[in-house]
Structure 1
Amino acid sequence: MLMQDTTVQVRYAETDQMGIVYHANYFIWFEVGRTEWFRRLNQNYKSLEEQGVILPVIDVQCQYKKPALYDDKLIIRTHLHELKGVRLIFHYEIIREKDEELLARGKTVHAFVDKDKKPVRLKKEFPQLWDVLHSALE
């Protein structure tokens, strides 16, 4: 299974007056992790779109364990959890680097759609891309 660790440092703009990260920023970090995960496979959203595949988020979840704070260095741990039919599921962990404390755990569910937003059966219509993604599960 391909696991991608990406680091970010909490910026002041991502926090409230108490120095605690605003909850919506975790969803941005999930996207950062997912983007780097795709890059590791020599793919990116632009190349996927040029091939005719768009990956909208159709579900997102985040379970907050402990707060991230201003200036914390964080690890965004990303892996593809499931690839099936017209969707894929990524799982994430947000970990504070200095003490390896798990701060949040989440997932995003994406649909494979074409430019007209119609579902795409990746295995049938884009077999090479399917093989690249499927190999990341093993």
Structure 2
Amino acid sequence: MGERIFETSVRVRYKETDQMGVVHHTNYIVWFEVGRTDLLRQLGLSYRDLEGRGILLPVVDLSCRYVEAARYDDEIRILTRIADLTPGKIIFSYEIRRKPDDAKLARGSTTHLWVSREMKRMNIQRSHPELYEMLAAVREGEEVGTCSGSSSSS
């Protein structure tokens, strides 16, 4: 099976642009976060759920390659996937594309460590095997049900 890609759409707001109507480079990083949190939400999770389980995901590395400018009022697609998963970290990769021409605007990745509330690194496979197995299946492109375990809603 192929990798599973999650899609989120947003429209460029005026406040995200500079005087030339071009999106400021920092907004792509915000869109990576939008894509990542939406991926988790589509799996039945949220950051709130993870935090409720005592799991935090700090960003420890980030890269972004800008290809073409997004502009005010463009509708963009944020394509997000789990690029790598180990018991100690998870890496998400992203592609930002413009609708309707599908032009690639940017691509990048973020690396996150699995840590406790006390910021101690954790082995997610040992501490939360059901979560690790679900994310591993998604990484491999398998269709999975949503992950239960918390009753909080976002």
Cα distance in 1 between the residues matched to 2:4 and 2:36:
12
User: Alignment partner of 2:78: what SS?
Assistant: strand
2:91 match: secondary structure: strand
The Cα of 1:74 is off from its aligned counterpart by: 0.1
Instruction: Encode CA deviations 1:29-82: one digit per residue, 9 max, x unaligned.
Output: 000000110011101000001111000100110000000000000000000000
Contact 2:95–2:106 (Cα < 8 Å) also in 1:
yes
Counting aligned pairs with the same residue, the percent is 43
Give ranges in structure 2 of 5+ residues lacking alignment.
Answer: 141-154
Which residue number in structure 2 is paired with residue 19 of structure 1? 21
1:65 maps to 67
1:135 maps to which of 125, 134, 137: 137
Query: Residue 15 of structure 2: SS of its match in structure 1?
Result: helix
Please give the residue correspondences for 1:1-138 in structure 2 after superposition, counting only pairs within 5 Å: 1-138=3-140
Q: CA RMSD in A?
A: 0.6
**Larger fraction in strand:** 1
The size of the alignment, in residue pairs, is 138
The 3-state SS of whatever aligns with 2:18 is coil
CA distance in 1, matches of 2:131, 2:92: 16
Deviation per residue, 1:98-137 (Å, 9 max, x gap): 2100000010000000000000100011111111111111
Q: Read off the aligned partner of 2:4 and give its amino acid letter.
A: L
Structure 1, unaligned runs of 5 or more: none
Moved over 3 A (4+): none
